[in-house]
Amino acid sequence: MANGFEQKSFKAQDFLIKEGAPSDAAYLVTEGKVEVRKGAVSSNPQTLAVLGKGAVIGEMSLFDDQLPVASAIAIEDTTTTAISREEFQRRLSSMDPVMRGIFKIMVNRVRELTQKKGTF
């Protein structure tokens, strides 16, 4: 990834992120649509959201080094700008420490809610 950013394209039904699998990037959707699903490969998948242009996907795992809590699947041809884990961490480390702490608390709360309720 040049400068930590790379344009990536996905065909319909391609996974951007797989639930429970390590992820090395976050994605800004620049064109297309992505469905966020819990239990995507199970017999009872749950759609949490359908996201389009301007949405960011996969940032939680880059904040806290935890595995993704849901899958992100292109539901039509989709173009993204990917930010690498290294670039994300570099930018995060230069952030005001108070704001960085607040963001980490927010990510932890979302994860806790997801684990308690099994959904977002």
Domain span holding position 18: 2-117
What pLDDT is attached to residue 2? Answer: 66
What pLDDT is attached to residue 113? Answer: 81
Beta carbons of 66 and 80 less than 8 angstroms apart: no
What pLDDT is attached to residue 23? Answer: 92
Residue range 63-105, pLDDT digits in tens: 888 899 899 999 999 999 999 999 999 998 999 999 989 988 9
Region 50-54 average pLDDT: 97
Tokens representing 16? 């951007």
Side chain identity at 40, as an amino acid letter?
A: A
Q: From CA 33, how far away is CA 53, in angstroms rounded?
A: 7
Side chain identity at 12, as an amino acid letter?
A: A
Kindly indicate the confidence band of residue 120, based on its pLDDT and cuts at 50, 70 and 90.
very low
What pLDDT is attached to residue 9? Answer: 98
Q: Is 44 left (phi over 0), alpha (psi -120 to 50) or beta?
A: beta
16, with CB counted inside 10 A (0-12, 13-18, 19+), is: buried
Instruction: Tell me how many domains the chain contains.
Output: 1
What pLDDT is attached to residue 4? Answer: 84
* Alpha-helix runs per DSSP H in 6-96: 59-64, 85-93
| pLDDT > 70? residue 116 | no
What pLDDT is attached to residue 42? Answer: 85
Q: From CA 54, how far away is CA 24, in angstroms rounded?
A: 20
**What's the CATH code of the domain at 73?**
2.60.120.10
Q: From CA 100, how far away is CA 45, in angstroms rounded?
A: 33
CB atoms within 10 A of CB 42: 10
